[in-house]
Amino acid sequence: MSQAQQTFAQQSGQYALARPRYPQALYDWILSQCPGRAAAWDCATGNGQAAVGLAPHFGMVQATDLSAEQVRAGLRAPNVFYSAQPAEATAFADHTFDLITVAQALHWFDTARFWPEVRRVARPGALFCAWGYSWFECESEVAAEFALPLRALLEPFWAPNNRILWNGYRNEDIAFPYARLPAPPFVIEARWTIEEMIAYVQTWSAYKLARQDVRVAAELERLCGGARERFAARGTLAARMPLSVVAGRL
């Protein structure tokens, strides 16, 4: 099992509950660029958030993930069909999809094998769109007492793949083979209690790996405990995450 598969198979239910929601403006833009509405493929679907978001607009949405655990825990809609398949080699027929999406996962793929698979299963003129977010921005006091110390603790534990996302899915990092469509800026805006913010960071691959180090695990417990004491009475806290988007028409 790959590191990505192990990471996202762990605590799939927690992942589904804690992950932030993508903005409706992103879906609206994707739909405005997509020529057909018969079938979409949401690749590396995770909790199925993007698949369910697209479902009202397509006759069928195929949602695939390496992790059978993620597939079992995925959000449900009548026309969303889940299966455990790798991004680079699927059982789908040639020229099936009007839209292919990848949310928060493109940086894990073997793109040398993925792009030919995209070409194979896409209909002529189909849209490809991938997006992702990295660090969250929050108010200065929360950043100083929780977010920035947390970031420093986790820095050594991030997989190198994450830097592809942090760098904005540059063409040279992902070998993007299509003319890139300019996308407007999109931002996830959230309001979390401190407990919800902590639950979100606990879904990160780096957090899970850091917990295996006894010293760092103790520091994480201290930091999270202090944040609960300091910010629990504040109610919800504002957070925002700009999205990096890469899109092209086949």
Residue range 114-152, pLDDT digits in tens: 999 999 999 999 999 999 998 999 999 999 999 999 999
Residue 2 has pLDDT above 90, yes or no: no
Least confident window among 8-22, 51-65, 140-154, 190-204: 8-22
| Residue 237 · residue 139 · CB < 8 Å | yes
CATH no. for residue 122? 3.40.50.150
| Total number of domains in the chain | 1
pTM reported for the whole predicted model: 0.89
What pLDDT does residue 19 have? 72
Confidence of residue 185 (pLDDT cuts 50, 70, 90): very high
Domain span at residue 70?
A: 3-249
Q: What are phi and psi of 39, to 5 degrees?
A: -150, 140
